[in-house]
Chains A and B, each alone.
Chain A
Amino acid sequence: MAEMLEVSGITKRFGGLVAVNNVSFSVREKEILSVIGPNGAGKSTLFKLISSFLRPTTGEVRLKGERISGLAPHIAARRGVVRTFQETTIFKNMSVRDNVIIAHHLRSKASLFGFFLGTGTAKADEAAFGQSADEILALLGLSSLAHEIARNLPHGHLRALGIAIGLATNPSILLLDEPFAGMNHDETMRMVEMVRRLRERGLTILLVEHDMPAVMKISDRLVVLNFGQKIAEGTPSEIQANDKVIEAYLGSEDEAIGL
């Protein structure tokens, strides 16, 4: 399998605090790789660095050999790296379908002025976006809610909508920050299935998640962070047997890493 994303020696300081400390790893094509670690370990910060929401203090991230860190979020998105947010992040006053349609922005062939004039290209774009949005909503089981205003959705569906928005950008690698947070067991299992299906469609997925049983079930490999440093990397069974990891989760280790 080819290397898709390469994180090399990336560090992020906030004043005196080193949130991410010299972390390196790579993600292969069509892989599901999870980043785990205790609260405050630097997982969300790592995601923000990869998606260019933050500028690294040192180090860089490359996608298929091309540097994508230290740019701007919309440029990283254009290159194919798209992140969903830890907080439920949607356009809350738009309909569910409009949320997904607007997220097709990167695929538009018409210019802003073209959309203003309503040119043929603009109309073709609109039609294509609508159709693709309907497909994505069906894939995520949101079809029946297409015309709801997004803020009225129950929590589990909001998460799904967040992912639908990410998918609409047609990324080559999707970064999901705690997609199962706040979900009950059934919802989580449904979402795990969903993420697998996305991978079968050719997507590479990078995941931050606390729900250990789900993570162990879904991931090909894991990277473990503690206090900003990478302390382990490997398959679920390797990680479950790793002493450093068990130590990092000390106190609730058995339950936390699903031994």
Chain B
Amino acid sequence: MTLNRNTRIAAVVAFLAIVFIAVPAVISLSGRFDLYYTLTSVALLSIASAGVWLTFYIGRINIGQGAYALTGGYVSAILVMNHGWSFWLTLPAAGLFCAAASVLIGLPILRLRGVYFAMVTLVLTEVARLLALALPITNGAKGIVSIPLPGALSVFGITLIPDFATLQNSRLAFYLLAVTLMVVCFAIMYRLVNSRIGKLCQSLQQNEELASSIGVNIAYLRVIAYAVSSFFGGVSGAIFAAISQSIYPSSFTVTDSVNFMLNCFLGGLGYVFGPMLGTLVLYFGWDLLFQTGRFQLLIYSGLMIVLMLVLPNGLLSLAETTRKKG
């Protein structure tokens, strides 16, 4: 999107003010503390969805992000429980582990295109679940429970983040953590997409043969994009495990993988901030439809279909058309 510089800065400042000041203020005034949990989930899911969006950006339909979220959750939980690591260290570790795994998995499967890649990634989520059930280290169906809350984070004796267990309101702390990471993640995505790397990714999406004929190492670029994508999945899963203080083989399933993808579709595949908006709308939309009882899924699916027909380029394409008219 080509907003001018001042508008962009104003938009960023407004967004930061809303998520860091306005939302906590409104929640504490209204006493709806449960919203923290909801919004934290939205922020984390949008990080995982941002990863999926990046794989879309290189022309691959990724229905496997659940596998990396699950892996990230387990990596963090195991490092904390079995090896006594600080949660804060397990966060990058979970991301890096997933990125490394995705390089090994991606090298062969990223050659596949279209529905073939999509199917393999779908299977990947199921493979991750079955592995979590089968491996001794993940403790089977019982999962890993009673994970302690994140401890204090100190650098050179200065406490940057207090021990979550000592906080009165750990929900606010998790919210701030999730939102901060979301902001960082989308800042990285924005920069990626608006630098030359974004153009290179687009060149892959539009024509891989031509891209390689102009000297682009397409295999390398695909793997990099997929690794960044999986890193985001792993980090988001690790925080989920820390919030719920538990992780099970069923914590992330095929449904989650599909939802990550839908979030991207709904927000708009052409817009960096699409996955963020998509996640917010889908998550709250689903909750609102809860009133409709057993029709919830039916109405939800119907609305999704209508939205995709009416707005094939996602919700954010609305904003663009409005601006062009104005």
Contacts and interface: CB of A to CB of B under 8 A. Distances in A.
Interface in A85-143: 85, 89-94, 98, 101-103, 105-106, 108, 112, 115-116, 118, 122, 125-126
Nearest to A73: B212
Given A89-B210, A94-B202, A74 B197 contact: no
Interface residues of A, number: 35
A152 to B, nearest CB: 14
A83 interface: yes
Contact of B209 (A82, A89, A101): A89
B216 to A, nearest CB: 5
Nearest to A118: B195
Interface of A: 51, 53, 72-74, 77-78, 82-85, 89-94, 98, 101-103, 105-106, 108, 112, 115-116, 118, 122, 125-126, 165-166, 168-169
Contacts of A84: 213
Given A101-B199, A116-B192, 7 more contacts: A77-B213, A89-B207, A92-B207, A102-B199, A105-B215, A112-B200, A116-B191
Contacts of B196: 102, 108, 115, 122, 125-126
25 contacts: A72-B212, A72-B217, A73-B213, A74-B212, A74-B215, A77-B213, A77-B215, A84-B213, A85-B210, A89-B207, A90-B207, A91-B206, A92-B207, A93-B206, A94-B202, A98-B199, A102-B200, A102-B203, A102-B214, A105-B216, A106-B214, A115-B196, A116-B195, A116-B197, A169-B214
Interface in B200-243: 200, 202-203, 206-207, 209-210, 212-218, 221, 224
A196 B14 CA distance: 57
B214 A165 contact: yes
Contacts of B212: 72-74, 77
Nearest to A175: B213
A74 B209 contact: no
A172 to B, nearest CB: 13
B215 A112 contact: no
A115 B202 CA distance: 15
CB-based closest 7 A-B pairs = A77-B215, A106-B215, A73-B212, A115-B196, A103-B214, A91-B206, A115-B195
A147 B216 CA distance: 23
A168 B202 CA distance: 18
A74 to B, nearest CB: 5
Contact of B215 (A85, A93, A115, A169): A169
